[in-house]
Structure 1
Amino acid sequence: MLVIVLMMALGLLVAGGVAAYVAFPHRGKALPVAPQLGTAMRRGVDSMPVLEDSESRV
Structure 2
Amino acid sequence: MRRAKPSAASLGLTPVRYYQLLVRAADSIEGIAADPLIARQVRDVGAARAAALARRAGRAA
Instruction: Give your verdict on TM over 0.5.
Output: no
Greater fraction helix: 2
- Computing the radius of gyration from Cα coordinates, the structure with the larger value is 1
TM-score under structure 1 length normalisation = 0.40
